[in-house]
Chains A and B, each alone.
Chain A
Amino acid sequence: MNLAEKKLNNDFYIESPLPPKRTRMQEFRRLFGQNRLAILGLFIFILFFCCAVTGLFLTSGSKPIFDPAMVRLQEKLRPPLAKPNLDSLQPQEVPALGVYLMGTDDLGRDVFSRMLQGAWVSLTVGFVAVGISVLIGIFMGGIAGYFGQHHIRTDQVLFTLALIFGTGLMLINVTFIGTVILLLCLAYIFYSLLARHGSTEKETPALKAMLHSNAVSVDTLIMRIVDIMLCFPSFFLILTVVALLPASIYNIMIVIGLTSWMGTTRFVRAEFLSLREQDFVAAAKALGLSNFRIIFRHIMPNAIAPVLVSATIGIASAILTEAGLSFLGFGVPPPHATWGNILSNGKNFIFDAPWLTFIPGIAILIVVLSFNLFGEGLRDVMNPKLKERH
């Protein structure tokens, strides 16, 4: 053996070649990029977003470029790309581009302007409603998942009920009984706080033991609330509330948000339940981190994935719900335009002016489709099981 043949690994060993390091973002982008439909969805969503924002600027203010509210009865039901009849119009009534891009509706309003205005409204309705529902869902789901095993004592249940009852009575002006009940609650709270300081008894009397017994766990409580909410058919609930409350865009957004958090709660709870048992949580606890920090910095980022997916799909469904409500007459009140408005308006003229139905309908279809595709693409990317399958 040639002594001069130098050994490669003398005091250390050579590192085997490593695969290129990819950050999570790059990995995500690459996986997502393989799904063409999802990319298309994202693209359309961005397009929609830009339209909505520019539409907002172009149609708002007192002298907007595209005026959605300008009524020109003499020009009603003109088809798309029709030239305006310049003789019958005043100068400020002539549409901006010199042509009715998408025709006019039964009041002579430019459909294109209304669509632009409606884009922003649909977008806001979708995002705000889903934002509310996701916030509630994460909150409820997180508490149920993380603190699920904590129990609520019987006396706590009792005096919460009494508090609600008392407040309710106060609200409907049954002041005397209401005040009495509220005072009793306060007294009980003081008493229990004091008693804890001074209690040295070894034996707890039977009544006290019963009051301190565990009534129900936090998890059960929250899941029962979810069950109760699920008992109401959602569309009816929305319909009921919207019909009974004064019509306004904010009411609709809030109501849709308040009635669709149950799914998110279930997802978040399931994720929390499984993540809570993992070692990294035990490690964090062993380090002495507060519960708050563990939940928000450690568990939450892992649990976010299904929430994002359901949020995206939730936006799609919120837009469809708003359209449905408009169809039934409970949508955003006129003269504000939403795509649902235009669509439901158009149903009366379906044979004379089909563009009034088709244009918003197809627009809603494309936007909702893009959200759904994007959401499904997200789900495929974030699903660890599907990832292994190639």
Chain B
Amino acid sequence: MIDERTTHDKPLLCVENLKVYFQSNGERAHAVDGISFEVREKETVCIVGESGCGKTVSALSILGLIPTPPGEIVDGQIIFSGQNLIKLDEKSMQKIRGNHISMVFQEPLTSLNPVLTIGDQIGEAVYTHKQIEPEALFQYCVQLLNDVGIPSPKQRLSDYPHQLSGGQRQRVMIAMALACDPDLIIADEPTTALDVTVQAQILALLRSIQKKRSMSVLYISHDLGVVSAIANRIYVMYAGIMVEQGNTDQIFRSARHPYTQGLLASLPSLSKRGKRLHSIPGSVPNPAYKPTGCPFHPRCSHAILSCREEFPEMCDYSEGHQARCPILFKSKGYKESSPPQRAGKDSKGQVIRHKTGG
């Protein structure tokens, strides 16, 4: 069942039912198992999930960067500017990469070529797509470095990556991504490898750039704190599928999927001081050996028999808010998000249903 979306404007990027499988060691890993999401103009969309849920693979497949011998896009379409990127040939994809859609990666040190200067690496991003004379190129790069907040950009252009700090390297990566004024930037956990203070700077930078250039950002992260700061809309991903989607308010205030609730409940905060830290029991399933039915059911305290037998469909809550848990959907009266209590038996030996409220 494809979700009905009420969109005001036509989305910039629309991913429908994407499936990416990996074949290795005799196993077929369903890294991405039928996800759909979209990014509209001038908005920041975040995909949230733990490591191993398939978010990086989704991002890479947008740009066609999945290594094809082990990986394969089995199904789905990725519509961008009216074209299905999956069906595009390599030459046309090259025109899009770095030009209309660009990407910022997680590890700035290894993502930059150690034997080429910063100026060289930024310059070639520009030179490949735009027709700029070599003299103007230098000025353009200086301007780019200025935009991302690197001091003394003229000297920096002739430096090598190892001479810069982690935060500066990530700024350079962002500069490379901005070089051709893309419509969409995909940022794959760009701040995970950085210190917290630097993290805040990079996030602020991304926000200001987005405003200035009116781009869209697809931000991938596992850090809910970061997500709450910058996202317009959020997609929560688990084991290769989307389990919940909505805007920031809806997700943080009234999460409707047990996994999202678990994630939120796991965030330590002052209000929970002195209480036992909550954690979701169990661990993320191996993409090649996924549970039947709902992939979250082994760890879910709301799970019943049908959760193991049938794959759950998305349930509509309100404007743009959907969650893939029919159980919670059916139990009306569920208002606020709260740490799900372990179901146990009460004194009469009856199964206790969950209590509402905090």
Contact = CB atoms under 8 A, between A and B. Distances in A.
A13 B281 contact: yes
Interface in B258-299: 281-283, 285-286, 288-291, 297-299
Interface string A31-68: 00000000000000000000000000000000000000
B343 A16 contact: no
B297 A19 contact: no
B304 A6 contact: yes
Contacts of A11: 342, 344
A19 B291 CA distance: 11
Contacts of B343: 7, 9-10
A45 B23 CA distance: 32
A390 B83 CA distance: 31
B303 interface: yes
Contacts of B69: 390
A15 B298 contact: yes
Contacts of A13: 281-282, 298-299, 301
B120 to A, nearest CB: 27
B196 interface: no
B304 A8 contact: yes
A13 B298 CA distance: 6
A13 B291 CA distance: 13
B282 A17 contact: no
A18 B286 CA distance: 7
A1 interface: yes
Contacts of B302: 7
Contacts of B344: 10-11
A278 to B, nearest CB: 21
A16 B303 contact: no
A3 interface: yes
A8 B331 contact: no
Interface in B302-321: 302-308
A14 interface: yes
Residue of B286, B298, B331, B353 contacting most chain A CB atoms (<10 Å)? B298
**Among all A-B residue pairs, the 6 with the closest Cβ atoms:** A14-B298, A8-B303, A16-B285, A390-B70, A13-B281, A5-B304
A16 B298 contact: yes
Contacts of A5: 304-306
Interface of A: 1, 3, 5-11, 13-19, 30, 389-390
Nearest to A31: B25
A381 to B, nearest CB: 12
B285 A7 contact: no
Contacts of B345: 10
Nearest to B299: A13
Interface in B23-39: 23-27
B136 interface: no
Contacts of B297: 8, 14
A6 B350 CA distance: 10
A266 B306 CA distance: 60
10 contacts: A1-B331, A3-B350, A7-B301, A8-B304, A10-B344, A15-B298, A16-B286, A16-B291, A17-B290, A389-B70
Contacts, number: 76
Nearest to B288: A19
Interface of B: 23-27, 69-70, 281-283, 285-286, 288-291, 297-308, 330-331, 342-345, 350-351, 353
A22 to B, nearest CB: 9
A19 B331 contact: no
Given A8-B307, A390-B69, A19 B301 contact: no
A8 B281 contact: no
Contacts of A14: 282, 291, 297-298
Contact of A8 (B289, B305, B350): B305
A177 to B, nearest CB: 58
Contacts of B283: 16
A7 B286 CA distance: 24
B285 to A, nearest CB: 4
Contact of B351 (A6, A15, A16): A6
A17 B282 CA distance: 11
Residue of A9, A15, A19, A30 contacting most chain B CB atoms (<10 Å)? A9
A17 B289 contact: yes
Contact of B27 (A10, A17, A18, A19): A19
B215 to A, nearest CB: 34
A6 B305 contact: yes
A3 B351 CA distance: 8
A16 to B, nearest CB: 4
Nearest to B354: A7
A17 B295 CA distance: 10
Contacts of B281: 13
A86 B304 CA distance: 91
A16 B307 CA distance: 14
A40 B163 CA distance: 49
Contacts of A389: 70
Nearest to A20: B289
